Amino acid sequence: MLAKKGRINKHLLREILKRGTKIETRFILLKTLKINNQKSPKFAFIIPQRTAKKSTARNKIKRRARHITKKISHLFNSNSASVFLLKKGIDKLKFKELEDVFLEILQRAKTI
């Protein structure tokens, strides 16, 4: 689980989904927003039920995604808030492939 300072509250989540910059790959839709008075990067992960039917599979994907962001969090801009919407088919990826997909989309978004 992410530390409280690394999580996005529901008000900020709505704002990011509404006004954020959208970048999309085959498996991930990323919405980012720059926030000026923020000291550390913030993240949220959304995995719809159509992505994986079983909650255990969705939780596994979330754990992997959190681990990847925690591992590379020192590379992030401190004033960014990012929401990852994980799409269908992501549950079939191996950990290394998932890590590569995350790095690719974050580089395209210029958040790292």
Distance (Å, whole) CA 61 – CA 86:
9
Q: Which residues pair with 34 in a beta bridge?
A: 80
Give the other-Cβ count within 10 Å of 94's Cβ. Answer: 9
pTM comes to: 0.89
What pLDDT, on a 0 to 100 scale, did the predictor assign at position 19? 94
* pLDDT, tens digit (0-9, with 9 covering 90-100), for 52-70: 999 999 999 999 999 999 8
Distance (Å, whole) CA 55 – CA 61:
10
- Torsion angle, alpha carbons of 60, 65, 67, 68, to 10: 140
Lowest-confidence region among 1-10, 25-34, 100-109: 1-10
- Joined together, the tokens standing for residue 100 give 């590569």
Query: What are the distances in angstroms from CA 87 to CA 26, 56, 76, 98?
Result: 8, 16, 23, 12
Average pLDDT score, the chain: 90
CB 69 within 8 A of CB 102: yes
* pLDDT, tens digit (0-9, with 9 covering 90-100), for 66-97: 999 988 887 887 788 899 999 999 999 999 99
